[in-house]
């Protein structure tokens, strides 16, 4: 019996992640994400209403058409966490597989939201919640385990398949953060046990492997300290404070809530996706929104809230969408005078997000920042830490997990090969036990006879 790892998406880009693992005839799919970058190439891409084949052609979702030629049966579709590059294509692709979706509770709640918004396809796959630390039998040959890890969204897991052919680890995405407040540290102990038991192959998030610094990724604790140091003085003064960050980054939003609640200001969480992620997280007990805070997602409610904030800005802290300067998001609209909030001298804009590096984001951010500064606002950038493992985290992970074979993923070729070079420093060898796959390619492992 052989094991096969099939690279469907995310092996040539940061985005539209999807992989399949086939053991004998049983197949497990991991993740079904979208690639936001590709949306901008064609001006007429409306995801909700489009057919999956059109979206595949435009490179927006993974090209899973190859799966029809794979001799096997999909037994489960497993999701690691709730970011769109991991769950965003679920409504376009999952209905074609007669298999349950498996995810942690928060991830599953986000998947349900995505499915609800779909306008093209019907959907009736079973939804099966699995908590981190738990296992479930997927087929006679395969048991799935969710090992707890950390990332920039709650309830991220590293799924592990225990099969008759060996253990397969799908570690997409992760960072090693020992100081988050919502999530405990990663389950290093379990990774070490798996390593001792023996891991056949690991698929690993190589997103930051090409960054040359030999570092461990900064903990969220550092983002908290930075935000505290930045917010301390403005909170005491009468000036406006607007913070923008990833709506899905509940850990970060919690930190902002906690800092703001030391003042007398009211917190306003504003924006469609801000409402979506925060309400869910609050309902599930992950996010504790302060008593006098409000979350608004509808345009009308947002505008009313902004009008109030505009009257007495010293009474509020605004948390908005729009950290990339994307023209339709809230902060860029504020910057462009399209709301009732007028930015003025003394306002503090804290951008708790990096520029996701592509030319369009750079242009949008530049335009937004110039507009904000033109009105007299003060801007703080880079109040942020990454959610992806740094080179030295990867080295630690390899030493814990000791997989026989490595398949770098979640990146373009430069990132995957940078990971390969790192792994070669740890004794692996590209072309021997490090396998570079392109989207659509597969790696087969045949059990060695003894």
Binding site for its own copies (CB under 8 A): 40-41, 43, 178-179, 213-216, 218-219, 221-222, 225-226, 229-230, 233, 336, 358-360, 362-367, 370-371, 373-374, 378-383, 392, 395-396, 413-414, 417, 420-421, 425, 429-432, 436-438, 441
Q: How far is the CB of 6 from its own copies (least distance, A)?
A: 13
Q: Is 83 annotated as a binding residue?
A: yes
Pick the closer one to its own copies by CB: 118 or 228.
Answer: 228
Q: How far is the CB of 438 from its own copies (least distance, A)?
A: 6
Q: CB atoms < 10 A from the CB of 41, how many? A: 10
Q: How far is the CB of 300 from its own copies (least distance, A)?
A: 23
Q: Is 432 annotated as a binding residue?
A: no
Pick the closer one to its own copies by CB: 161 or 383.
Answer: 383
Pick the closer one to its own copies by CB: 103 or 385.
Answer: 385
Q: How far is the CB of 112 from its own copies (least distance, A)?
A: 34
Q: Is 198 annotated as a binding residue?
A: no
Q: Is 81 annotated as a binding residue?
A: yes
Pick the closer one to its own copies by CB: 120 or 362.
Answer: 362
Pick the closer one to its own copies by CB: 343 or 383.
Answer: 383
Pick the closer one to its own copies by CB: 118 or 396.
Answer: 396
Q: Is 374 annotated as a binding residue?
A: no
Q: How far is the CB of 152 from its own copies (least distance, A)?
A: 17
Cβ–Cβ under 8 Å, residues 436 and 408: yes
Q: How far is the CB of 365 from its own copies (least distance, A)?
A: 8
Whether cis (ω within 30° of 0) applies to the bond prior to 49 is no
C-alpha to C-alpha distances, 368 to 59, 213, 230, 249, 373, nearest whole angstrom: 28, 30, 20, 22, 9
Residues 6+ apart with CB under 8 A from 276: 113, 247, 297
Residue 60 to residue 50: CA distance in whole angstroms: 11
Tell me the residue length of the chain: 450
Q: Is 386 annotated as a binding residue?
A: yes
C-alpha to C-alpha distances, 206 to 187, 227, 408, 441, nearest whole angstrom: 20, 28, 6, 18
Strands (DSSP E) found in 271-396: 294-296, 316-320, 348-352, 378-380
Strand partners, 403: 199
Q: Is 124 annotated as a binding residue?
A: no
Q: Is 51 annotated as a binding residue?
A: no
Strands 378-380 and 348-352: parallel
Distance of alpha carbon 277 from the chain centroid? 12
Q: CB atoms < 10 A from the CB of 283, how many? A: 11
Residue 161 to residue 22: CA distance in whole angstroms: 11
DSSP letters along 41-54, please? TSTT--GGGS-HHH
| Binding residue numbers for Zn(2+) | 81, 83, 85-86, 151, 173, 410
| Binding residue numbers for substrate | 384-388
| Binding residue numbers | 81, 83, 85-86, 151, 173, 384-388, 410
């Amino acid at each position: 019996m052989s094991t096969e790892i099939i690279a469907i998406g995310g092996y040539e880009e940061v985005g539209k992640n999807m992989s399949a693992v086939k053991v004998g005839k049983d197949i497990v799919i991991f993740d079904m994400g979208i690639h936001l970058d590709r949306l901008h190439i064609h001006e007429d891409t409306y995801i909700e209403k489009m057919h999956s084949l059109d979206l595949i052609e435009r490179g927006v979702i993974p090209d899973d058409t190859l799966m029809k030629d794979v001799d096997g049966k999909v037994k489960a579709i497993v999701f690691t966490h709730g970011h769109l590059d991991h769950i965003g294509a679920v409504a376009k692709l999952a209905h074609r597989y007669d298999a349950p979706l498996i995810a942690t509770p928060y991830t599953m709640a986000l998947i349900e939201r995505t499915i609800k918004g779909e306008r093209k396809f019907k959907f009736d796959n079973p939804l099966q919640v699995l908590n981190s630390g738990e296992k479930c039998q997927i087929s006679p040959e395969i048991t799935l385990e969710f090992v707890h890890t950390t990332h920039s969204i709650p309830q991220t897991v590293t799924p592990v398949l225990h099969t008759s052919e060996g253990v397969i680890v799908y570690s997409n995405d992760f960072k090693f953060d020992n100081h988050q407040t919502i999530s405990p540290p990663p389950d290093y102990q379990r990774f070490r046990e798996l390593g001792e038991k023996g891991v056949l192959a690991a698929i690993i998030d190589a997103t930051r492997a090409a960054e040359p610094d030999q570092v461990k990724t900064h903990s969220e604790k550092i983002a908290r300290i930075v935000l505290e140091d930045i917010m301390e003085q403005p909170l005491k003064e009468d000036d406006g404070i607007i913070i923008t960050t990833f709506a899905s980054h509940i850990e970060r939003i919690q930190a902002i809530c906690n800092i703001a609640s030391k003042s007398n200001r009211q917190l306003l969480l504003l924006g469609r996706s801000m409402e979506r992620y925060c309400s869910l997280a609050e309902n599930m007990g992950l996010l504790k929104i302060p008593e006098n805070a409000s979350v608004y997602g509808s345009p009308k409610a947002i505008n009313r809230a902004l009008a109030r904030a505009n009257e007495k800005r010293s009474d509020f802290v605004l948390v908005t969408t729009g950290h990339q300067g994307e023209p339709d998001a809230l902060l860029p609209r504020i910057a462009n005078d399209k709301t009732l909030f007028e930015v003025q001298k003394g306002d503090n804009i804290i951008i708790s997000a990096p520029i996701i590096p592509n030319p369009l984001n750079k242009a949008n951010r530049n335009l937004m920042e110039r507009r904000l500064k033109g009105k007299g606002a003060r801007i703080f950038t880079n109040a942020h830490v990454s959610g992806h493992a740094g080179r030295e985290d990867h080295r630690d992970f390899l030493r814990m997990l000791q997989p026989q074979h490595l398949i770098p993923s979640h990146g373009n070729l430069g990132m995957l090969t940078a990971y390969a070079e790192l792994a070669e420093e740890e004794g692996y060898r590209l072309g021997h036990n490090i396998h570079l796959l392109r989207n659509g390619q597969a790696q087969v492992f045949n059990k060695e006879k003894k």
